Every structure is written in structure tokens, then in C-alpha cells.
Structure 1
Amino acid sequence: MTAVTDQDHTDHTNHTEHADHAGGQGHADAAGDDTGRAEERSENAASEEGTPQDGRSTAAGPDGEDVAEGPEPAAEAALEKSEGEEPEHRAAGGSKKSAAASAGKHAATGPEAPAKDRHARVQADSEGSWDDGLIARRVTEETAAQHVPTAPARPSPPQATAPLAYDGPLRSRLDALRELVGLSRTRLDSRTLAEAGRVLDEAASRRRLSGQHTVVAIAGATGSGKSQLFNTLAGVTISETGVRRPTTAAPIACSWSDGAAGLIDRLGIPGRLRRRPVQSAEAEAQLRGLVLVDLPDHDSAAVQHREQVDRVLALVDAVIWVVDPEKYADAVLHERYLRPMAGHAEVMFVVLNQIDRLPGEATEQVLDDLRRLLDEDGIALGEYGEPGATVLALSALTGDGVGELRESLGQFLAERGAPARRIAADVDAAGWRLRSVYATGQRTGLSEEDRDEFAARLAEAIGATAAGEAAERAWLRNANRACGTPWLRLWRWYQDRLDAPTGRFPARAQVDEEATARQRVEQAVRTLAERASTGLPAPWGQAVREAAVRGAQGLPEALDELAARAGLPPGRPPRPGWWPAAVFAQASMTILQVVGGLWLLGQIIGFMSPNLGVPVLLMVAGIIGGPLVEWSCRMAARGPARRYGQEAERRLREASAGCGRARVLDPVAAELLRYREVREQYGRLMGVPAAR
């Protein structure tokens, strides 16, 4: 039978060591004297040529150890002498050259060398094309009879593996997720974005590695038989099985082809836990590109075992869940793993193992119940050509149904789409986790009515309306002073001397007025912030409110300064062009009164001849005409005074609106714009248009 050696001398099962010991002892006895003479000649040749005493040149192996490359002339001479006594055991897939190299090494090592070491060297030569630090597990006659027959290994030079390529839609979604995280980094806490960041990192890491390999993990509960299924698929006992629980303590990798070193390194599996399956043309063609990983029990009593399961499950491309008839409905399995991974159904196999323990039609009944539970978990089933999880029943012990699993795995591997589908499912999961902080079913943002109302509240807070009315009164007062009768102007002058002047823009320096204005400004800001944050997810609503509060700091003082600068200019209001004519008419009426009065006074004292008609007429014209001119000027001044007041109010409203826009509206609008951008990116991420 074929013997596949193990380069790791510390990790063997007991039955393998016994078999090797028996075979190696017989070989040592058979080699006997000839190997001793070959050793002497080999040492002489080694001393002359400067090569190691075993007669072979060495090179660094995958794990940093020296690996023999080929026999030197001295070793070949020893080989020719001992060729007829070649032992029965040969390396799996060994060629004629590897057998000769094995005999040469036997001669070099001598009869005292352990049989295990000689077999390890033989296998190292025959499997020189295996890279990635993978180690072939030893197969005895007993174990080899239970698995797939071996075929000669076909050494081939290492092939460069092409990196994984994502299609356009997946790249677009990853770009959207990257933009989403970048725009949200200062608005959301790191724990909220942690999963999205992990997905981006793992997608970038997986993309740099081989796209020709698919990493599939076998996971299951204690006693489900996952390690036995792992060994059955590999065709050789790699993962230890037994009644001791837990049996598998660390992940073990088995690769069907070269070029998977980076993928296995990414899983953190050391070289001593990397294996090769039994080599056969059929298995290599069917499962080429498969990297199978046996995980510890997900329900293990050891916490570190469960942690390793969670860590590796987040990195593999697909997973085979192995359940047994007793634990297929286990709540831990469904609630902790299957239900959260419902979106990964396309890269999931669910295998009901140990069907040899079920009588009659019980297998179909258990399968139906398993499908029902998976459906309740939200896992789509790949039936009738629909994408989803593959559900199978088999017995790893008897081999019943294993062929169907191999065929399904072969088709799954041939598609080369599992890594991209896994990343797409991770992106979906990350997007659904972020839905509460991005998606909303309500309309968000500020309407024009909300902006106008905020500006009106600020204008009211600084008294824009009152300032306009005061400006109008000041204009009318100035007009009355310029166009009024002298007697009325004299009376008003006297009143002005008694009272404080009121012809200027009123200064709001009183404490109560300032407090009232501040309260109005704060109320206007709060109202705006509440309306702007309505319908937003909690983090973005909080960001909008914080932006409004920051802008409101110092806003009342800024409004007061603007009111002082944008209010009425110092001095009297400007006069229209008709004011000189009105002043001239009022002066004429005054002159008529004075002339008429003096004329009557002259007649009274006898200075002039009596004639009451003309002076009385002049006085009456002046007395009636003065108030009439004043009234006409007042009527004519209403329009300009109103426009003057409106202009003053407009300037204050524009100044207050500009201040409020710069300090409050623009920061709030910036937050709303940022949220609109992330919402659009979230729509790209989930493949749906952004909701308005």
C-alpha cells in the first residue's frame, strides 16, 4: 500500500506510529549491511564535494526547514548497490526517481536511523511540488483501505494564482460603504461603524488573495461528526475523532491545490495544522481549488474554542454546518449562528449527518423539520433552481450521501463565485445593521416656510417692526416741524426742551428688553433645530441640534450690533423735493398774518385810515392757510414716511436674516446636506434609490 508521510513529527495518531514503526523496522533489517557500506562511501563523497553527509543538497522548505533536493553522485553509487533491496513501502504518488532518492537516503542514514525519518524524507522528495507549508498525513494500510485510493503524484511547478476580482456592482457597493464610513466618522461612534470597517478591511484583504481557491469551513456541535466528515472528504484521517469532548481543539486546514498559502495565513492556521488530502485524479479534478477547514465545536465548553470558531467563520468564503439527528434543532446553533447568518444562505451548506442511526423514513422527516427551522431562521433554501442554502443528508461513517456532497461542492467550486458572494452578503449584513442610523421613512430637511419663519422670529427679536414704525414716526415728525406753523413749531420746541428727544432710533438698552430679546432668539433657534431634526435618525438629529446650539452662541449680541449699524442713520431723515415749496407756502401764510395784524394795529392807533376789510382778510387767509398747508404736508408725507419706515425695517430684517443664516441656518443646512449625501450612499450600498 501507499504510505504518505508526515513532516510534522509531533502530530501523529497512535495507529499511524505503530504502522510506521513496524514497516520501518522491517526495512531497516532488510537494508542491513549494504546501507552501512553506502554510508561510508557517501561520507567520503560528501567530504570531497562539500555536500551534507546524507549525500543530498538541501534547500529551505516551506516551513523554513532544509529539504533534500536530489541525490549526489556518492549517494547514487550507494543507490545502485542497494537498489535490489528496496523496501516495500513507497511514498504516495512516488516516481522512479523518488524511489531511488529514498534508497540513497537509506544508505546515507545507516541502519540506526528511525523508520519514521526515512519515510518522511521519501515523502518530502516525492511531494516536492507541494507548497504553502502543507504537510501530507501518513496513511497506513488500514486507513488507506477506508478512503479513496491514491494515484501517483504529478509534480508540477508552482503556479501563480490570480487575485480575486470583484464585479462592477460589488465594487460600487464597496465604494459606497467606504464613502459612507468616511462621511459618518465624525457623526457616529466607532462602535456603530466597527462592523462596516471590518467588512471593508476583510474585502480588501480577500481581494488581494487567490481567486482560484474557495475556503470552506466545516462547523458543528459536539459529537455531530464534522471531523469525521472532514476526514472522509480528504480521504485520509487528518482531524482527530473520538469520544473525548471536545476533540478538535484548533482549526485544521486541508488544501486540494497549491497557491492557498495566503488564504490559510489569513485564517491564522499554523504550518503544523496544514494538510494535504489523498491524491487522486478524480478528487483533484472535482475539488480543485478547495481549502477545507475543520473548526472546533461551536458549543465547546472551552471559551477559546468558541472564539476561534467565531473568528474563522468571519473569514471563510463558505461554511458547511454539520448537524446530527439529536442537535439539529439546538437553540444555540439557530440563534447564535444560523439566524444572524441568514443573508449568507448562498454560501452555506447544511448537512444532516449520522443518518445511518435513523430508521426507515425518519431521515426525510428530520430533513423536513430541519428545512422548516431554517425557513423560520430566514434562510433561503436552494431548491427548484433558486439561490440559497444547500440541505443534504449523509452518513460520514458509512459514506452514504457523501458523493452527493462532493458533487455539490464540485459545482460550487467550479462557479468561483463564493468569495464575492460572501463579501456581498457581509456588505448586506453591514448595511442592515446601519439602517437605523441612515434610513428613515419621513421627509427630512427645512422648507422655505421654516426658513422664513426663523428669519421673521429673529427680526421680531431685534424689533425690526418697531424700528420701522419708529422710523416712520420720525419722518412724519420731521415733516411736521418743517411744514408746521411757526406758533406750533414754537410750542413743540418748548415741549422738546421739557422732554427727552424722540426723533432718533430708539435704543433698547433696558435690561428687561434685552432679556426678552435673548429669549426670543433662543426660542427661534430651538424651534428651527426641532423642525430640522424631525424625521432624522437619532445621531444625525443630534448633530443638527448641536450645530444649531453652537451657532446660537453669541447670536443675540451679534444681532444687537447689526441693529445698531443697519438702523436709522444719525441726524434727521432726508427731505423730499417738495419740502421747500411747502416751507415757502407756510412762510407766506405767516407773512399774511403778520401784515394783516400790523395793518389792523395801525388803524387802531390811528396811524392809518380805517379799512378793516383788507387787513382782516389778510389775517384770516394767513390763519387758515397755515394749518391748511401743514395738513397738506402731513398728508403728502405719509407715503414717504411709510416707505422710509419700511426701508428701515427691511434693512434690519435682512441684517438679522443674514446673521441667522451665517450662524445657524448654514451649519444646520451643512448637516442636512451631509445626511443627504450619506443617505444617497446608503441607497447605493443597498441597491435601492435613496428615500426622500
Structure 2
Amino acid sequence: MTAVTDEGPGRVVGPASHEEPDGPGQVPDAGRIPEAGREWNDGLIARRAKARAADPELETAPDDDVRPPQVEAYVPSGGPLRPRLDALRELVGLSRARLDGDTLAEAGRVLDEAAARQRLSSRHTVVAIAGATGSGKSTLFNTLAGAQISDTGLRRPTTAAPLACSWTDGAAGLLDRLAIPGRLRRRPQQGGADADEALRGLVLVDLPDHDSAATEHREQVDRVLGLVDAVIWVVDPEKYADAALHERYLRPLAGHAEITFVVLNQIDRLPGDAADLVLDDLRRLLDEDGMALGEHGEPGATVMSLSALTGEGVGELREVLGRFVQERTAAARRLSADVDAAAAGLRPVYVAEGRPGLGERAREEFADRLADAVGASAAGQAAEREWRRNAGRACGTPWLRLWRWYESTRRSGSLEHPALPDPPEEQLTARQCVEQAVRAVADEASDGLPGPWAQAVREAAVQGAEGLPEALDALAERAGAEQVPDGAAVVVTGVAGASGAAHSGRVGGKPPRPRWWPAAVLAQASMTLLQIFGGLWLVGQIVGVLEPGYLTPALVMMAGIVGGPLVEWSCAAAARGPARRYGQEAERQLREAAAACGRARVLDPVAAEHVRYREVRERYAAVTEISTTGG
């Protein structure tokens, strides 16, 4: 029996391999060297001559070697697959800087294969027939084609290379993609208009044995299975439960159930209802593999039994296969299943356990830690003390001010060495405070994120913290020259010595004076004048210059002596509120400046990583067609 190839309408070829066939149903003389006196008929030229002698119309058919190549019509694919592929492409693009190439390799392969498949004919469905050694897949291939195309027999392996049979023209590009050469491309035997019409658009590929002893055979099986639109797995009663089949192929391809046919062949060898029992056990194994079965109208794998040798059940398979091909959705289903598999492999690097992000509490704690590191609280207390000290200098009695000046001069003159800088322990403590703040906010921000994105968040926080202590130092130095509201100016040192500077009270500039200060100064000056006037009056009476009357000048002098401290005490009491507000304002300004510095260097880069993760998470949700409200 011969077959017409789709490489040329007049070409007739024989089997793909010239191995000696020993199995039943073979053409006895196909591929044999004739004995003496017999006709030499195994060459290509001889077969062409014989075919043209049997059909004179073939004489006018053009030869396959000079036939121009066919041009396939590209039909753009629509439906939900296109946005999923676009989302996957965007997902890969957004993730290249965060994920390694090995993680994205499968997604990239799916995109490449999808682009290659969509450029080719959508009118054809490429179906591979795969199976183990001796399962009868080549016999089933020949039975569906109605021609002795693929060699069958007891010699193993019989099928050495993928062999294709196309029911219609225009599949050359698809077969080129499968790397099936022209010499291994066939056309089926024309067995009737109805049969040909049912399988119109089918491209059937017979694969080598997946358990072949030859490594190159198994490699070809794996390569072609990754490119075809659907696959028919042929199993026999002896090897249907083979672990190599289930663990290496069926279980990993469980997500491709809608484009999978599992055929129990050789049921003619089973007595009675043993075929039903074996078929039920096969369904059980497929269910354990996670492969959905297309039963009761649900989508899934098609499982059936037949005998390719006797033809029992082959008609049913042909009918099911014909409906499958005429739907012309196998390529889209295959690509959709590939996208699902790629998305499932990427799930650990995109799906978080909870809702990652930085809450307001974490931000406030980070700001508090930076404020402690820069000494904002101590600086506020020092500013408050300086405000009250300045109030004491302005409203105090001149004699007390003179005494304080004397004491400060005496203490400064007794110092033989200048003040030493803050000890290294304090500097180390301040830097450790900054590092602890960054570490805490990085842990909080990365909590619940997938590994690569958690690592990206930590790296962003660490990189931002590299110059944070120095930036806080510069910030504290600038704060000394900047005016706070109401004209106040506070000088503090940075992270390296904020604590010691604040406690030492090194605050420069004059705090703002309330409106009542001139009246207080005038009252204190009046008390001083009363003391001087009363004293002079009393001295004049003592020396006899003035008339004696000690009570009045004594009372005047006593009023000045008592009124001066009273005015100073009243000013000190009145200054407590403004001094406290002044210190709080100085602390607030330095705290906000430190928080702004930390936000710009640490929190904003961390937030940018969160935004990037949410963006890729939305793209991943579009790939998997799930809602973004989930984890």
C-alpha cells in the first residue's frame, strides 16, 4: 500500500525506514532485496515508475524537487490567550532585574514557542502519537492513515525518527518547526471523502519509543512533545502502569489534559471483560497523576480502548479525533496549558504569603529610631534649658548675673586642656542605632514577600543606609544654622556626637523673647535703681549730708532688694511654658528632618520595590487569570 506525500501531488513513497518488517499486517516485499529473477522495486525511481504505470495521470504531475514552496495563511489567534501572553511578556520584562535567567527560562521558552506557533497555520492541528516499545503506536499510525507508512515489527526500536502524515496541504512550516525532513513526510491513503473530510487539517506524527535504549530517540521524543498541539499516548496491557511513563510524562503534563488522548491498545489480547478492568485501572492511575479526565462533559483527557490490529475502536478514535481537529483550538489550548505550567513554576517567586508593605506604625518606629540616633530629644531638652537660661540672664538681678559671670570665668580659666570630643563608645552607639533602625524596617518591609523580592527590598534598604549616618551628621550641622519658627535657632551635632552635645547644652543663638520680656527687664532695672537709690539715700543720712530718717531709705532699699529676686522668680515661672514649647519645637524640627532624610534614603527605595512587586503581581494575576485581591 502506498501513500501520497504533501510535498507534491504526484509523489508516491513507501515506508520511512527500510528495516525488515516481521510483524503482522506488513507488506512482505517492502524494503527487501529481491532474489534472482525478481523485479528490482525498492528504489525511489522504480517506485515512481511503477506508480505512474498504474496511474497515467501522474505522468503530468510536477516533481517534488521542482515544486515551489507552499505559502501558509496566517490566522491571528484571539480569545483570552493573547492578553495572557502579553501579560507574561511584560512580567518577564519587569522581572529580569530581580530574577535570575534560570527562573525565567521556561517562561521565555513558552513565549518563543507561542510566537513561533502563532506565525504558522492555524488551520492545522499537529498531533503526535507517543508510546513505549511494542505498544503498537506505529500500527495505530498506519491504521489512521490508511496506508503502510511507518514500519512495524518485532525488531526494536522500529521507529528511528519522527514520521509525519498530513491530511491537507499547507503544513510544511509546521513540519519544518518539528525538524521533520521532507523524506519523512507522507500523505494518507485516500479512503473516502467522508473520512478525509473528518480529519482535514490533521498532521499526525509518529514518534520513536519514549523508553528506547537509544538516547537520541528519547531526546527526539522530548523535543517534539514540546512543540506539537496534542498527543496520543498509546499504552498496552503490559506497560500501561509503567513508572517511566507516568512519572516522566503524564504527571508533569497533567495540566495539558485537554490536549491529551490516552489509548489502551491491543485489547484483542485481553479475554472477556478484562479490557474494562484494565481501562478502569488506567483511569485510576491518571487520576493519581493529577490528570483530569474528560468525563460527563467536563474538559480533560480522552481515555479509550481499541485494537489497532483488528480495527476495533479505531473508528471511535477517528471520530473523536476528527471533532478535535475541526474545532481548531488545540494550538491555543496547548499554549494556554504551557502558560499555566510556566505560571505555576513562577508562583513561589511572585505570590506572597500575606499583604507585604510598610505600615504607619513601622514608619513611625523608624522615624523614632532615627530621632534617637540624631539626639532630637536631648537637643530639645538642651534648647529648653538654654531658653530658660537666657531668660534668667535677661531678667535676673545684676548682682546674681555678675556672680555667674565670675564663676564661669573662673571655671574656664582653670581648664588646662580643651574639651575632648565625645568618646568612641557614644559614636558607635549612635551608628548602631541607625543600623538597627534600617535593619528593623527592612525586616518589616520584606516580611511575607517571595524570596527574590524580599532580597531586593533588603538590598534597597542597605544601599540607602550606607550614607545615612553621614547624611544625618550634615543634617544636624545645617539645623544649627536654620531658624525654627519664631526665630529660634538650635545648634546640635550629628549622629556621631548628638547625645553628648545635647547633654552638654551647646546651643547657640538667642531664643526668641516674649513680649513681656521688656517689661520684666524694666521692672528688674527699677528694682536695681531702688536698691541703689535707697542705698545712696541711707549713706547720705549716715554721713550727715541728708537729714536723718533711716526708715524710708531702708524701706526703699529693701523693696529693691526683695523685688529683684521676686521679679526674677516670676520671670522664671512665666518662662517655663515658652521654654518647653521652644524645646519641643526644636525637637520636632530635628525629628522631622531626620525622618525626611531616612524616608528619602531608605523608605522611598523600599516603597519603590513594593510598587514594582505589586506591578509584577498584577501582571502575574493577569497571566494566571486570577484576582489581585488574593495573596
TM-score class, shorter:
0.7 to 0.9
Matched with 2:142 is: 231
Given candidates 619, 623, 630, the residue that maps to 1:685 is 623
Deviation per residue, 1:473-496 (Å, 9 max, x gap): 111101100110011101111122
Amino acid at match of 2:475: L
**Pairing 1:331–2:269 present:** no
Matched with 2:131 is: 220
Matched with 2:460 is: 547
Q: CA deviation at 1:8?
A: 8.8
Q: CA deviation at 1:225?
A: 0.9
**Pairing 1:172–2:80 present:** no
Which moved further from structure 2: 407-416 or 234-243? 234-243
Distance in 1 separating the partners of 2:51 and 2:593: 98
Matched with 1:36 is: none
Given candidates 631, 634, 648, the residue that maps to 2:586 is 648
Distance in 1 separating the partners of 2:16 and 2:216: 22
Matched with 1:630 is: 568
Q: CA deviation at 1:131?
A: 7.5
Distance in 2 separating the partners of 1:178 and 1:397: 47
Matched with 2:288 is: 376
For the 8 Å contact 2:2–2:14, the answer to whether it is kept is no
Q: Following superposition of structure 1 onto structure 2, how do residues 72-111 of structure 1 map, counting pairs within 5 Å?
A: 90=52, 94=55, 97-99=57-59, 101=60
Distance in 1 separating the partners of 2:386 and 2:3: 113
Q: CA deviation at 1:173?
A: 1.1
**Pairing 1:407–2:319 present:** yes
Given candidates 389, 406, 425, the residue that maps to 1:477 is 389
Amino acid at match of 1:545: R
Given candidates 197, 200, 203, the residue that maps to 1:285 is 197
Q: CA deviation at 1:466?
A: 0.5
**Pairing 1:521–2:481 present:** no
What secondary structure is seen at the aligned counterpart in 1 of 2:165? Answer: strand
The 3 A distance-change label for structure 1 pair 2 and 370 is closer
What secondary structure is seen at the aligned counterpart in 2 of 1:434? Answer: helix
Given candidates 200, 206, 211, the residue that maps to 1:294 is 206
What secondary structure is seen at the aligned counterpart in 2 of 1:168? Answer: coil
Matched with 1:201 is: 112
Amino acid at match of 1:548: A
Matched with 1:348 is: 260
Given candidates 361, 364, 385, the residue that maps to 1:452 is 364
Distance in 2 separating the partners of 1:300 and 1:264: 23
Given candidates 301, 308, 313, the residue that maps to 1:396 is 308
Identity %: 68
For the 8 Å contact 1:161–1:212, the answer to whether it is kept is no
Distance in 2 separating the partners of 1:349 and 1:635: 94
Q: Following superposition of structure 1 onto structure 2, how do residues 234-313 of structure 1 map, counting pairs within 5 Å?
A: 234-280=145-191, 281-313=193-225
The 3 A distance-change label for structure 1 pair 24 and 475 is farther
Deviation per residue, 1:69-98 (Å, 9 max, x gap): xxxxxxxxxxxxxxxxxx986467x4x543
Distance in 2 separating the partners of 1:449 and 1:507: 39
Distance in 2 separating the partners of 1:515 and 1:230: 79
Matched with 1:533 is: 446
What secondary structure is seen at the aligned counterpart in 1 of 2:263? Answer: strand
Which moved further from structure 2: 14-23 or 654-663? 14-23
The 3 A distance-change label for structure 1 pair 360 and 91 is farther
Given candidates 532, 548, 551, the residue that maps to 1:610 is 548
The 3 A distance-change label for structure 1 pair 302 and 559 is same
Deviation per residue, 1:366-417 (Å, 9 max, x gap): 0010011111111111112111111111111111111111111100001000
The 3 A distance-change label for structure 1 pair 575 and 20 is farther
What secondary structure is seen at the aligned counterpart in 1 of 2:123? Answer: coil
The 3 A distance-change label for structure 1 pair 669 and 191 is same
For the 8 Å contact 1:23–1:89, the answer to whether it is kept is no
What secondary structure is seen at the aligned counterpart in 2 of 1:16? Answer: coil
Matched with 1:658 is: 596
Distance in 1 separating the partners of 2:373 and 2:35: 98
Given candidates 519, 539, 542, the residue that maps to 1:581 is 519
**Pairing 1:571–2:509 present:** yes
Distance in 2 separating the partners of 1:124 and 1:240: 28
Deviation per residue, 1:15-58 (Å, 9 max, x gap): 2356999999599xxxxxxxxxxxxxxxxxxxxxxxxxxxxxxx
What secondary structure is seen at the aligned counterpart in 1 of 2:164? Answer: strand
Amino acid at match of 1:265: D
Matched with 1:40 is: none
Q: CA deviation at 1:572?
A: 2.2
The 3 A distance-change label for structure 1 pair 508 and 440 is farther
Paired residues, what number? 580
Distance in 2 separating the partners of 1:2 and 1:651: 93
For the 8 Å contact 1:161–1:211, the answer to whether it is kept is no
Q: CA deviation at 1:177?
A: 1.0
Matched with 2:30 is: 16
For the 8 Å contact 2:267–2:307, the answer to whether it is kept is yes
Distance in 1 separating the partners of 2:16 and 2:248: 35
Distance in 1 separating the partners of 2:74 and 2:569: 95
Q: CA deviation at 1:577?
A: 2.7
Q: CA deviation at 1:640?
A: 1.9
Q: RMSD of the TM alignment (CA)? A: 2.7
Kindly indicate whether structure 1 or structure 2 has the higher relative contact order, using CA contacts under 8 Å at least 6 residues apart. Answer: 2
The 3 A distance-change label for structure 1 pair 161 and 664 is same
What secondary structure is seen at the aligned counterpart in 2 of 1:253? Answer: strand
**Pairing 1:319–2:231 present:** yes
Distance in 1 separating the partners of 2:411 and 2:107: 73
Q: Could you list the runs of 5+ residues in structure 2 that have no partner in the other structure?
A: 5-10, 21-28, 414-418, 481-489, 492-507
Distance in 1 separating the partners of 2:614 and 2:378: 39
For the 8 Å contact 1:339–1:377, the answer to whether it is kept is yes
Distance in 2 separating the partners of 1:222 and 1:2: 25
Amino acid at match of 1:325: P
Q: CA deviation at 1:9?
A: 11
Deviation per residue, 1:621-654 (Å, 9 max, x gap): 1011101111111122222212221221111111
Deviation per residue, 1:534-589 (Å, 9 max, x gap): 11111111111111111110211110110111141543223233222211111110
Q: Could you list the runs of 5+ residues in structure 1 that have no partner in the other structure?
A: 28-64, 69-86, 102-122, 133-157
The 3 A distance-change label for structure 1 pair 510 and 574 is farther
